Amino acid sequence: MPSKKKKPFYQHKFFLSILFITGLSIGGYFLYIWWMEKQAGFAHYPAFGISLPIDYSIHGIDVSKHQGVISWSDVQQMKVKDVDLKFTFIKATEGYSRVDWQFRRNWRRSKEAGLSRGAYHFFLATKGGAKQAENFISTVKLEEGDLPPVLDIEELYGARPADVRKRIQEWLNIVERHYGIKPIIYTSVDFYTQYLGSDFDEYPLWVAHYIQKNRPRIEREWIFWQHSEKGRVNGVVSAVDFNVFNGDSAAFTQLLVK
pLDDT tens digit at each of 258 positions of the chain: 444 455 554 455 555 555 555 555 555 544 544 444 443 355 777 999 999 998 899 999 999 999 999 999 999 999 999 899 999 999 999 999 999 999 999 999 999 999 999 999 999 999 999 999 999 999 999 999 999 999 999 999 999 999 999 999 999 999 999 999 999 999 999 999 999 988 999 999 999 999 877 789 998 999 999 999 999 999 999 999 999 999 999 999 999 999
Spatial distance between the Cα atoms of 24 and 87, rounded to a whole number of angstroms? 41
* Length, in residues, of the chain: 258
Q: Give the pLDDT score at 10.
A: 47
Q: Give the pLDDT score at 211.
A: 84
Q: Where are the domains of the chain?
A: 8-40, 41-255
Would you say the C-alpha torsion 29, 31, 34, 40 has a positive or negative sign?
negative
Which distant-in-sequence residues (6+ apart) come within 8 Å of 166 by Cβ? 129
| DSSP structural state of residue 65 | G
Q: Give the pLDDT score at 36.
A: 40
Which distant-in-sequence residues (6+ apart) come within 8 Å of 172 by Cβ? 129, 151, 183, 185, 200, 203
Spatial distance between the Cα atoms of 200 and 80, rounded to a whole number of angstroms? 37
Q: Give the pLDDT score at 34.
A: 42
Q: What is the pTM of this model?
A: 0.84
182 in Cβ contact with 152 (< 8 Å):
no
Q: Give the pLDDT score at 103.
A: 98
Q: Which residues are catalytic?
A: 62, 154
Q: Does domain 41-255 have CATH number 3.20.20.80?
A: yes
